[in-house]
Structure 1
Amino acid sequence: MGLAAPAGAQVDAQALRVRSLAASCAACHGTDGQAAAGGEMPRLAGLPADYFAAQMLAFRSGARPATVMHQISKGYSDEQVRALAGYFAARGGR
Structure 2
Amino acid sequence: MRTTVLIRLALPALLCVSAGAQAQDASALRTRSLAATCANCHGTDGRAVEGSGVPGLAGLPAGYIVEQMKGFKAGTRQATVMHQLAKGYSDAQIEQLAAYFAGQKK
Alignment TM-score, normalising by the size of structure 2: 0.82
The count of corresponding residues between Structure 1 and Structure 2 is: 91
Give 1 or 2: higher helix fraction: 2
Instruction: List alignment gaps of at least 5 residues for structure 1.
Output: none
In the other structure, the counterpart of 2:50 is 37
In the other structure, the counterpart of 2:92 is 79
Instruction: List alignment gaps of at least 5 residues for structure 2.
Output: 1-14
**CA offset at residue 92 of structure 1?**
2.1
CA distance in 2, matches of 1:92, 1:58: 24
CA distance in 2, matches of 1:43, 1:34: 5
Larger Rg: 2
Query: Higher RCO, 1 or 2 (CA under 8 Å, sep at least 6)?
Result: 1
RMSD: 1.3
Look up the equivalent residue of 1:66 and give its one-letter code.
Answer: A
Over the matched positions of the two proteins, sequence identity in percent amounts to 56
Alignment TM-score, normalising by the size of structure 1: 0.92
1:9 has 2:30 as partner: no
CA distance in 2, matches of 1:51, 1:7: 31
Look up the equivalent residue of 2:66 and give its one-letter code.
Answer: A
Runs of 4+ in 1 over 2 A off after TM superposition: none
